[in-house]
Amino acid sequence: MIALVLAFLGVIVAGMAVVLALPDRYVPRAVAAIGSVAAVLAMWVSGAALFAGNELHVGLWTIPGLGRIVLGLDRMGALFVFAAGLVFLPVSIFSAGYLPRFRGHYSLRAFGAWYLAMFGSIAFIPGCGDVLSFLVVWELMSITSYLLVVYEHERDESAHAGWLMLVISEAGTLAAAVGLLVLAVHAGSLEFAAIRAGNGGIGDGARWAVFLLSFFGFGVKAGLFPFNLWLPHAHPAAPGNVSALLSGVILNVGIYGIVRVNIDLLPPIGVGPGLVVMGIGAVTALVGILYATVEDDLKRMLAHSSIENMGIVAVGLGAGMTFLAAGRPTLGAIAFVAAFYHMVNHSVYKGLLFLGAGTVDATVGTRSMDRLGGLIHRLPWTGLAFLVGALSISALPPFNGFASEWLTLQSILRSVELSAIGVKAAFAVAGAILALTAALAVTAFVKAFAMTFLGHARSPEAERANRAPRALIAPMLILAALCLTLGVTPTYVIPTIDRAVGEYTHASATDALVPPFFLTTAADTRGLPAGFVADFHDLGAQTGRSFLPGRGLVVLHRGGKENPVVYAMSPAYTLIVLLLMLGLTAGTVWLLAARRRRVARGEEWAGGVRRLAPEMTYTATGFSQPVRVIFQAIFHPTVEEESREAAAGYFRLAIRRVQRDVYLPERLVFRPLARLAAGISAGCARMHNGKLNAYAAYVFIALIVVIAVGIIVR
């Protein structure tokens, strides 16, 4: 393990030196090769910890006055590193075909160095075993991600987005650092192991302070409401490959910080923190998908969708924390598995969708869905991959989004086993919001795919779109295959994630969700009633037992005698049935219709118009208008009027009214804070223009306050 870690670090450092020394024309391929090797090594190290249990804990060196720097990778951290590697590998390959578009405009060598440095910092964050190294590496990740977002620094959009991202992220980092230092001071050590062992004597007030500071501090990086203002600005401004990393990897790092502090170092002892996480997650999911549904810019729409998916992950985490605090460890384990399963799925399909959006932007030159359309004819493979990503994120079987989102909703419904009415009500509200979110997600991605790839081209740019090179297509097809693989194999994914969360739940989600239908001995069936096994054998639950490993292909949560099956699904068997139905339908149509009729092709006809003009077709804005009208109270648009006057203002030649949406977090949080800060600044400014006697009074009052505080403290 140490050798693999050193090999990964060596590849990152040597790779940075190589790309800085190479001419720009060779950098894209070098970034692709070095990044791919680093991603494979990262997955090798993390896979050894996650699948084989080869965890790492090594003390590096001791800093006088601060303590020991520790390198430690447990199964939970390995899960995050492995998910990061799954995204970095195809994104690195994609970079070989995407980066040449910047040659001659910006330094590709600088991009390559920042790219590899960010990957190294992200991979080492879950491997930090103490507060000091964690915060240092976290800052390195924040700085390198900022540099990549502002890579096109000559554009005002990029500079503003990077500045906003850096300021908000640093505020969150400061809050999280204070929470970690509170734990460290109480434990008398900066090492996570000592903090974990000494958390028993922390009072309720300190617990809530640490929870709120760490949750909202790390929640900034995870894109949780209300501190996700930076996300819709950073994604459109960043290069396409960087956008895929922001959503598929950087957001996960924020989730890791929340999990490391509030599930590992200081697990909750009451239901309050879990309900807060679940409530914030539900609001985040709803706000994210609403803005995604009405957005016209393809990358900005995907950014809002990332906010929605992080909200779903937070709902699962909050449900798990609540179940654990309520004494239901098995339900807590299931909820955690659902949350992390969805996090991994989101990394894969959102990476795919952002690579697709980057390909569209690079080949067409615009991201406005109102100006796209018909790209399936020019970019067929991109359209196919984007369709897989859209189906996955819409939670349609047999793709991966269905398995994790379905399991999250089922976990929330198990709140019926809790006794507190208020807690049940909170779960019911969160479940209803997630159901609404799921429906809106389908609407949003029907719009995204249809308005981008189907129909007629609505602009000259879309008509003249260039063919995508293979270096852009291959990574998308890899991620599309992963979407299908993760979707049809939940009975293999669940045990893997369960290994990571079992240390904190002390319960087995695998035993609760994956019955051992492929195992035959009495010891293997673990108490399953013979009649129960026989019934599911008749339904085909043991199909594939002769050549497939594992416990089975059915996800099933058992109940009591009156309700033996609480919920069940099998995406693998669903895929088989879908393929059989499609084959049967196609064969029937061919036998009954195609062989007996001759197909005549001609020009399309619509209401007497031989050829539809682009202005006559549906646009993305028109498609989403019903959602905008229904949820107008949330969008709360402002109307800006522009007019041209003549004859000394007595006549108006033209009046133009523009409706602009004010982002909800900006309207509810940031603008009031800005007004408060402006008011305080104005008051301080007035104090600077006073009289000498007033200044003497200020000094005298300050002296009295200092003396009073000193007496009280003494």
Query: 668 CB contacts (<8 Å, ≥6 apart)?
Result: 226
156, amino acid identity: D
**How far apart are the C-alpha atoms of 122 and 38, rounded to whole Å?**
12
Which residue stretches of the chain have pLDDT < 50? none
Sign of CA dihedral 150, 152, 154, 155: negative
> By the 8 A CB rule, do 537 and 553 touch?
no
> By the 8 A CB rule, do 551 and 514 touch?
yes
Is the peptide bond between 398 and the residue preceding it cis, with omega within 30 degrees of 0? yes
Burial 628-649 (b: 16+ CB within 10 A, else e): beebeeebeeeeeeeeeeeeee
Q: Using alpha carbons, list the distances in angstroms from residue 265 to 190, 194, 214, 268.
A: 12, 9, 11, 10
**How far apart are the C-alpha atoms of 635 and 667, rounded to whole Å?**
10
3-state secondary structure of 138: helix
Q: What are the φ/ψ torsions at residue 461 (nearest 5 degrees)?
A: -60, -40
Query: 431 CB contacts (<8 Å, ≥6 apart)?
Result: 409, 412, 413
Segments making up each domain of the chain, as ranges: 664-713
> By the 8 A CB rule, do 396 and 486 touch?
no
Query: 618 CB contacts (<8 Å, ≥6 apart)?
Result: 451, 455
Strand partners, 624: none
Instruction: Give the other-Cβ count within 10 Å of 65's Cβ.
Output: 5
Nearest to 88 by CA among 159, 33, 155, 137: 33
**How far apart are the C-alpha atoms of 230 and 547, rounded to whole Å?**
49
Nearest to 239 by CA among 28, 384, 394, 386: 28
Q: Which H or E run contains 129? A: none
> By the 8 A CB rule, do 310 and 223 touch?
yes
Q: Which H or E run contains 80? A: helix 75-98
Nearest to 45 by CA among 90, 84, 82: 82
Question: Which structure tokens are listed for 458?
Answer: 């609505």
Query: 204 CB contacts (<8 Å, ≥6 apart)?
Result: none
Q: What is the pTM of this model?
A: 0.90
